[in-house]
Structure 1
Amino acid sequence: MSDKEFPIEDIKNKIANILLEPEIRFCGLIDNTGELVAGDMKAGLVPFETDARRKQMYQELAHRVANRTGFDANLGRVKYSSSRREKVVMMSFPIGKYIVLVIAEPGVNIDRLGWKIIDKLGNQWSEFHGF
């Protein structure tokens, strides 16, 4: 999927749909440089980090996701990655040159939420992962 064909408006709608899940705090589309392309915090929630720290977090995420591709030939592509922290669960879903970042409440079932988000991402995720 080339950048020209990447359906940003479709992804924006899917991000809004993901944000409807009660346990989701944030959902956003991050590009390969770490810029937030689309998405936001759920209305009424206060972020734990400042704008500058969130930007740094997006850049570090883009770097980590890029580094993981070095193992794709032998291990297969990453479907999603998750990190359980004390205050939140962070999940990333690579789609081509983009990453869908989801931040959820700490008590979520990571696998159940991961597959639910993959289902909500639908075609964009499937096209990249060959399903």
Structure 2
Amino acid sequence: MTSVQEDKIHSSMQGLCDNVLNLDNVRFAGLVSNHGNLYAGGFKEGIIPYEDDEKRRLIYMRFALESCLRSDFDDSFGAFIYSTVQREKVSILTINICDHILLVFAEPDIDLHTLAGRIQSIIDENEAIFH
């Protein structure tokens, strides 16, 4: 893949994250590689992260590992669609996209299944990016 193609893909992925960040109550939207590296995205303007850079890197690696482990059950249960985690301070949603994980942090009072549906609509609208 050429550098121009990679730049175009990265720009498109950043656009996807920006669209997710525009949703109400979303704090963070990022595409994380299967190695735990943040590829695109970030925090919504004005949001102060709860953790420092090093801890966020560990979080990205953890979610990447969990995503890889989920694929062990694809033959039995079908392909992974999304997962949710509800915590006191934040709600977390992960969705597999190609070789990346869309990781979303939202306010804790949000309905994660409704959010997942909205994000899936955004992904579906931009499906050409992922092929």
TM over 0.5: yes
Residue 112 of structure 1: aligned partner: 114
Assess if the C-alpha contact under 8 Å between 2:98 and 2:130 holds in 1: no
Structure 1: which 5+ residue stretches go unaligned? none
Residue of structure 2 equivalent to 1:56: 58
Counting only pairs closer than 5 Å after superposition, residues 71-90 of structure 1 correspond to structure 2 as 71-90=73-92
* Alignment CA distance shift 1:124-1:29 (3 Å): farther
Alignment CA distance shift 1:115-1:126 (3 Å): farther
Q: Please give the alpha-carbon distance, in whole angstroms, between the structure 2 residues aligned to 1:7 and 1:126.
A: 9
Q: What is the Cα deviation at residue 126 of structure 1?
A: 8.3
In structure 2, C-alpha distance between the alignment counterparts of 1:65 and 1:27, rounded to whole Å: 16
RMSD: 1.9
Q: Deviation of residue 9 (structure 1)?
A: 2.1
Rounded Cα–Cα distance in structure 1 between residues aligned with 2:129 and 2:97: 6
When normalised by structure 2's length, the TM-score is 0.88
Q: Of 50, 68, 71, which aligns to 1:69?
A: 71
What number of residue pairs does the alignment pair up? 124
